[in-house]
Amino acid sequence: MRFINGKKATVVSKIILGCAAAALALTCLVIRMPALFGGSGDTLATWAAGLILPNGAKTALGQGNEGSGPPDKDASITATSSSSSSSRSEDESSVSGVSSSASPDNVSSQGRSEPIPDPTNSIKIRETQFGASGEKYDNFYFKNNAGAQIAIPELLIQRPDLHIKKDGQPQVLIMHTHTCESYMREDLGYYPSDFYPRTTDNNYNVTRVGDAIAQKLTAAGIGVIHDVTVHDDPSYNGSYTRSENTIKKNLEKYPSIQVVLDIHRDALGNNESGKVKPTFVANGKKAAQIMIVSGYNNKANKFPDWQYNMRFALKLQQAAENRYPGMTRPLNFTSMQYNMYLTHGSLLIEVGTDANTLDEAIYSGSLLGDVLTDVLNNLTDS
């Protein structure tokens, strides 16, 4: 009986050793699967490891993969169709902060640089093209946010009170009440939550858009002054009072100026819902949409000839959509005057938002220069 029991023990021991050897071989095979299947073996190896390895070992194997692809694009950019628009308030609050750079890129196993949003440091960007919103006239849309009675069809056919001369004298003043407004420097696919979209560096702020507009007008023989005086730093409060003084100084120095363009960039959306990036495509290239703002003030004698500016705004909006369909957001007729009372050709124009790239905004400035050239050439004295 003792001999029989010892024999049984030997057989059992051999079975146990055989199973252990088989398990060890299978484990080695699983670990080697990434090499056997190349980059595509990571998922398979991790799946197989989940069948035989403890959770900790499976996790370690998964984290060791170097061939993981770029993040899901849908998590960073989603196209939306939004009809909202913003209007500026002259009740300004102070703004302070420090500009910081975006997160570094990751280089994938294929050698391609892919942006990887840091989930703790990125905000979704909702790219959209504003279109049908408000009232439609001809080929564009109009939003009456001023609450005033306005006859668009009649104003649309009336000539703006502008008489452009190509005699070398300045006809157009380009300036910026919020000179420090800036854009993203590259298209990351997401908005870094620590990005501060304001800078006094004129290489990166909205003055670059003004430069692009001025270049097109100058090339067309239309005299331009581009004043890059900073009005919103070190204090944001009182920007419009300071920019009013800048406009008055230029009008006094150059009485030939008839058109004053206050070029801004907008900001739409928030950290929770995502930052809104309005774009359109012109000549196969992406550009930032613009919003033309024309002012109004219902207080007696404060802005009695606002309709002259509106004539100009309507002509510009119509011409922009004729030449570059999709370029404009709905024209914003606002109850704020924004220094537009100073001439009969004063407008505020928002070029993109802080989610647009600098290149997209500069390209829009160039296109806007084309449109302005078309309109002003038709308003020259013969």
pLDDT tens-place string over residues 12-36: 455 555 555 555 555 544 444 443 3
Q: Residue 17 has what pLDDT?
A: 57
Higher-confidence residue: 36 or 314? Answer: 314
Higher-confidence residue: 103 or 275? Answer: 275
Average pLDDT, the chain: 78
In this model, does residue 187 exceed pLDDT 70? Answer: yes
Q: Residue 69 has what pLDDT?
A: 30
What tens digit of pLDDT does each residue of 168-180 get? Answer: 999 999 999 999 9
> Residue 71 CA to chain centroid, in angstroms?
21
d(CA 359, CA 185): 8
Q: Residue 300 has what pLDDT?
A: 62
Q: Name the pTM for this structure.
A: 0.71
Q: How confident is the model at residue 147 (pLDDT cuts 50, 70, 90)?
A: confident
Q: How confident is the model at residue 298 (pLDDT cuts 50, 70, 90)?
A: confident
d(CA 263, CA 275): 21
Q: Residue 219 has what pLDDT?
A: 98
d(CA 245, CA 49): 72
Q: Residue 203 has what pLDDT?
A: 98
Laid out side by side, the sheet with 140-144 consists of 135-137, 140-144, 331-333, 290-294, 346-353, 259-266, 170-175, 223-226
Higher-confidence residue: 70 or 160? Answer: 160
Cβ density class 345-376: b for 16+ within 10 Å, e for less:
bbbbbbbbbbbbbbbbbbbbbbbbbbbbbbbb
Q: Residue 88 has what pLDDT?
A: 45
Q: Residue 8 has what pLDDT?
A: 45
- Pairing relation of β-strands 170-175 and 191-192? unpaired
Q: What is the mean pLDDT of residues 48-65?
A: 32
d(CA 73, CA 18): 49
Q: Residue 13 has what pLDDT?
A: 53
What tens digit of pLDDT does each residue of 277-297 get? Answer: 999 999 999 999 999 999 998
Q: Residue 286 has what pLDDT?
A: 98
Nearest partner of 352 among 334, 329, 371, 373, judged by Cα:
329
Cβ(358)–Cβ(183) below 8 Å:
yes
In this model, does residue 38 exceed pLDDT 70? Answer: no
Kindly report which listed range (23-27, 107-111, 265-269) carries the lowest average pLDDT score: 107-111
DSSP string, 56-79: HHHHHHHHT-S---PPPGGGTEEE
Using left for φ > 0, alpha for ψ between -120 and 50, and beta otherwise, residue 193 falls in alpha
DSSP character at residue 102: P
Q: What is the mean pLDDT of residues 125-153?
A: 93
Q: What percent of the chain has pLDDT over 90?
A: 64
Nearest partner of 206 among 174, 172, 246, judged by Cα:
174
Alpha-carbon distance values, 74 to 81, 126, 211 (Å):
16, 10, 35
Q: Residue 107 has what pLDDT?
A: 28
Q: Residue 141 has what pLDDT?
A: 97
Q: Residue 297 has what pLDDT?
A: 86
Cβ(145)–Cβ(87) below 8 Å:
yes
What tens digit of pLDDT does each residue of 223-263 get? Answer: 999 999 999 999 999 999 999 999 999 999 999 999 999 99
In this model, does residue 101 exceed pLDDT 50? Answer: no
